[in-house]
């Protein structure tokens, strides 16, 4: 589907973190080298993707969106890997969501034909790029967000000056006080929507968007109430825009849903009060790898709120592990490990020690009772119980919290089977 | 000096963050494109290096080490940019410090001939790599740390099996209770040193190392006392090792000093009590770009403790800025900016708003009274005073805290002159 040839052909060598000394080969050949993480073939730290978990998760989310009647436009910022986008599109994704102008470059270079930029576009270089792509390729279907008259003005002027024959398609972003971007009231959203409508033929109002992930507060009940209010306002804005005939032709696009509360946007189906067809677009991105200690907690809450997910069988599986060596046992109860902030997420939780392995052992053994206390740039401090089996030179496999901030620390990630044989590799574009 | 041809010739295109749409050129030509950050030629966010500040800082540290009689082995983990290593070596650096096996690959591919791996080496793939490099290139001068009998054993066995004709040169690492790696007493350090000595001809004891940066506690006086204790123990270990004739031939190498307390290792000169020549090696890395709100505070404390640095004139200058667009002004007092955790350090402090710019303005204007409250993956929340000049579409330039965790978010960083014209670019290898 996507034009991935450049990636598969791209040269990889040992200047890339995680690649063995002396290796110099096209990316496509990595899976045929017979490397095994547990045989010390690759230097550690190494971040790996578990092939079976990725396949399970892609299929799970396909079945979830079928169950809920949503379309999926997964956020590509998570992995920034066109090879994974291709898997997601192959499983029926409607498009790919982006956050930045550089994301747009990457997506277009690899042939993503439908992009939802879930962000305001005010960068003149970015606006010029989008207008030129719209003009160049009639099959390119692009949407972005707008939340102020100032942004409408910037986009309208740029589109008019460019002479582009197609409009920039916009969703008005509905936000909430204390949130991130987005209008702060229905009245304000309608004002923005009217300005977009008046900016035809350069701009076209196509729908309504919100992002519930930034509404979180300490109290879960209050968080749900805030999300409920946002969904209600999105519904009201859609109804008002239709009543005022502000939407351009085509189905109304209504989009919400990150990776924390993806059970809630489907509730919009019952609340939407538009005569015209509306399509609901979910933007979850982190589901593709899930994690071991953050989204995994949200998944439990989703299962509790939405028992129907039980119909899908086993839920999302953590697909990322970062492996490192025990390099020092300097004090009782403390191991220092060759993995740091440069290698694994630390913005939500510290990594979770999952299992360990010593040369000559078979499969890795689960590692209970250990905890990462903190990380420096290139080291982790691992608290150990008195009966810890770990010795200097042992390998420890960690789960992570928040895939986005682990993916962006690796330009190449190896894909492993359940025995930690390297069977493939992906390239990321951060 | 280094073999940088591959980097200068390497193709760059708009799949790389910060590179303008449509660009496809060798890295060496970036500086000739006439791009200017303030004219919207490049998409934002963009992290830039200020050329004049880099030149000043490289020269400042050369003069600082001359003043103190230290040799400089700058930590390359900061930038992981061989182009910057080349500047540092060109200014007289003794070698380049590394932290990981992948660092070693990168350094060797670009011809770094003296490497201090300021870490334990227990990764079998890494040990094999070093042994093969030692055998292949008689001009390669390599040192790493050892802090346990277990590590001595791992290294001795691997070196013996390899048949390498040269020893792995080791510094015994002196640590402190509550610190990171390193022995926890002089007695323990001497035991390790004896084991290294006994592992001749495969291993060679060449010196003593400590890292004071991990000894920091909340109370500055207590921190200095802990560092003083570490330096005292390093001195005692060096004297005992000499007395027991454990050192291999050549000058004794004594190394300490990161980027926070680089005035303290020179004090070792007075405390060292060895008859044989000892060379003092400083490992600071972050000086090359300094920062706007973390190392900048340490620099003030250094100036207060060591008035002689006043002889060097102006101190280190912050050389990294990350620029982004104001994309939304959703509420009074709040701007949302197109820069996030993927673009700028957030592990010590949030970025510091320094200046702003609007199309058609001349030079950027200082921006007082603004503060980054928090960042998401791709957004920053900027608190603004009531009289803030910022509007949607304006550019804001941020200083950062902790260069390491900004460098590792960019595979290519543009170098700008004082007018923000892009005059060069560096590649990083994370």
Determine, for residues B393 and A179 on separate chains, whether the beta-carbon distance falls below 8 Å: no
Pairing of strands B320-331, B371-375: unpaired
Closest CA to B108 of B92, B89, B129, B77: B129
Q: Measured between CB atoms, which of B123, B184, B346 is closest to A43? A: B123
Indicate yes or no: pTM above 0.95.
yes
pLDDT attached to residue B174 = 98
pLDDT attached to residue A1 = 81
> What is the average pLDDT across A201-227?
96
User: What H or E segment, with its residue span, contains residue A170?
Assistant: strand A168-173
Burial class (CB in 10 A: 0-12, 13-18, 19+), B170: buried
User: What H or E segment, with its residue span, contains residue A233?
Assistant: helix A220-243
pLDDT attached to residue B100 = 98
CATH of domain A5-51+316-427: 2.40.37.20
Rounded Cα–Cα distance for residues A49 and A70 (Å): 27
Determine, for residues B330 and A214 on separate chains, whether the beta-carbon distance falls below 8 Å: no
- CA distance, residue B313 to nearest chain A CA (Å): 31
Q: Which residues from A are below 8 Å from B429, CB to CB?
A: 15-17
Residue A325: closest C-alpha in chain B: B123
- Asked casually if ipTM beats, i.e. exceeds, 0.90, the reply is yes
- Is a pLDDT exceeding 90 seen at residue A205? yes
Residue A81: closest C-alpha in chain B: B15
Please check whether residue B65 is in contact with residue B72, taking contact to mean a CB–CB distance below 8 angstroms: yes
pLDDT tens for each residue of A388-410: 999 999 999 999 999 999 999 99
Rounded to the nearest 10 degrees, how much is the dihedral formed by the CA atoms of B35, B40, B42, B45? 140
pLDDT tens for each residue of A56-69: 999 999 999 999 99
Residue A326: closest C-alpha in chain B: B122
Determine, for residues B17 and A430 on separate chains, whether the beta-carbon distance falls below 8 Å: yes
pLDDT tens for each residue of A306-362: 999 999 999 999 999 999 999 999 999 999 999 999 999 999 999 999 999 999 999
Please check whether residue A355 is in contact with residue A367, taking contact to mean a CB–CB distance below 8 angstroms: yes
Q: Measured between CB atoms, which of A327, A331, A347 is closest to B120? A: A327
- Is a pLDDT exceeding 90 seen at residue A55? yes
The Cβ of residue B222 has, within 10 Å, a number of other Cβ atoms equal to: 12
Q: Which residues from A are below 8 Å from B210, CB to CB?
A: none
Determine, for residues B13 and A154 on separate chains, whether the beta-carbon distance falls below 8 Å: no
Q: Which residues from A are below 8 Å from B347, CB to CB?
A: 341, 346
Q: Which fold has domain B113-284?
A: TIM Barrel (3.20.20)
Residue A332: closest C-alpha in chain B: B177
Q: Measured between CB atoms, which of B15, B20, B341 is closest to A106? A: B15
Residue ranges for chain B with pLDDT beneath 50: none
pLDDT attached to residue B1 = 80
Q: Measured between CB atoms, which of B21, B45, B175 is closest to A105? A: B21
Which is it for the CA torsion B15, B21, B25, B31, positive or negative? negative
- CA distance, residue A123 to nearest chain B CA (Å): 7
Rounded Cα–Cα distance for residues A246 and A193 (Å): 7
Q: Which residues from A are below 8 Å from B405, CB to CB?
A: 341-342, 377
How many A/B residue pairs have CB atoms within 8 Å? 227
- CA distance, residue B312 to nearest chain A CA (Å): 30
Residue A6: closest C-alpha in chain B: B15
Determine, for residues B40 and A16 on separate chains, whether the beta-carbon distance falls below 8 Å: no
Residues B354-364, buried b or exposed e (16+ Cβ, 10 A)? bbbbeeeeeeb
Listed by start position, the domains of chain A span 5-51+316-427, 113-284
Determine, for residues B14 and A109 on separate chains, whether the beta-carbon distance falls below 8 Å: yes
Beta strand ranges found along A23-139 (DSSP E): 24-26, 46-50, 71-72, 96-98, 114-120
- Structure-token pair, residue A145: 């967000």
Q: Which residues from B are below 8 Å from A158, CB to CB?
A: none
Q: Measured between CB atoms, which of A20, A177, A326 is closest to B125? A: A20
- CA distance, residue A311 to nearest chain B CA (Å): 33
Q: What angle do CA A352, A354, A356 make, to 5 degrees?
A: 130
pLDDT tens for each residue of B129-160: 999 999 999 999 999 999 999 999 999 999 99
> What is the average pLDDT across A164-180?
97
Report the Cα B344 to chain-centroid distance in Å. Answer: 16
The Cβ of residue B386 has, within 10 Å, a number of other Cβ atoms equal to: 7
pLDDT tens for each residue of A58-111: 999 999 999 999 999 999 999 999 999 999 999 999 999 999 999 999 999 999
Block residue for tokens 């740029």: A158
């Amino acid at each position: 589907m996507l034009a991935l040839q450049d990636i598969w052909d791209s040269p990889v060598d040992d200047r890339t973190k995680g690649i063995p000394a002396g290796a110099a080969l096209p990316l496509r050949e990595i899976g045929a080298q017979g490397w095994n993480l547990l045989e010390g073939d690759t230097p550690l730290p190494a971040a790996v993707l578990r092939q079976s978990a990725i396949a399970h998760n892609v299929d799970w989310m396909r079945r979830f969106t079928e169950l809920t009647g949503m379309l999926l436009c997964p956020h590509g910022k998570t992995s920034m890997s066109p090879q994974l986008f291709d898997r997601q599109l192959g499983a029926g994704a409607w498009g790919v969501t982006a956050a930045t102008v550089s994301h747009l470059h990457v997506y277009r270079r690899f042939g993503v034909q439908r992009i939802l930029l879930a962000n305001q576009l005010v960068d003149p270089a970015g606006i010029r790029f989008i207008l030129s792509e719209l003009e160049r390729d009639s099959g390119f279907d692009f949407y972005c967000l707008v939340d102020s008259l100032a942004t409408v003005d910037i986009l309208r002027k740029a589109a008019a000056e460019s002479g582009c024959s197609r409009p920039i398609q916009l969703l008005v972003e509905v936000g909430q006080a204390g949130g991130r971007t987005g209008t702060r009231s229905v009245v304000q959203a309608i004002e923005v929507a009217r300005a977009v409508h008046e900016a035809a033929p350069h701009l076209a109002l196509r729908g309504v968007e919100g992002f519930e992930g930034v509404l979180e507060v300490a109290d879960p009940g209050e968080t749900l109430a805030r999300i409920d209010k946002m969904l209600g306002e999105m519904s009201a804005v859609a109804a008002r825009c239709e009543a005022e005939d502000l939407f351009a032709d085509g189905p109304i696009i209504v989009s919400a849903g990150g990776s924390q509360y993806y059970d809630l946007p489907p509730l919009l189906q019952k609340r939407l009060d538009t005569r015209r067809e509306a399509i609901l677009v979910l933007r979850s991105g982190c589901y593709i790898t899930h994690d071991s200690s953050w989204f995994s907690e949200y998944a439990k809450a989703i299962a509790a709120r939405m028992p129907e997910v039980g119909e899908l069988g086993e839920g999302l599986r953590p697909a990322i592990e970062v492996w490192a060596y025990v390099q020092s046992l300097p004090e009782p109860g403390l191991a220092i490990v060759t993995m740091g902030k440069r290698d694994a997420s630390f913005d939500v939780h510290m990594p979770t020690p999952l299992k360990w392995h010593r040369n000559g052992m078979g499969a890795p053994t689960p590692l209970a009772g250990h905890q990462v206390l903190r990380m420096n740039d290139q080291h982790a401090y691992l608290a150990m119980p008195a009966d810890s089996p770990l010795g200097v030179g042992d390998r420890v496999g960690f789960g992570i919290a928040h895939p986005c901030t682990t993916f962006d620390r690796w330009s190449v990630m190896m894909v492993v089977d359940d025995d930690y044989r390297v069977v493939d590799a992906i390239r990321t574009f951060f």
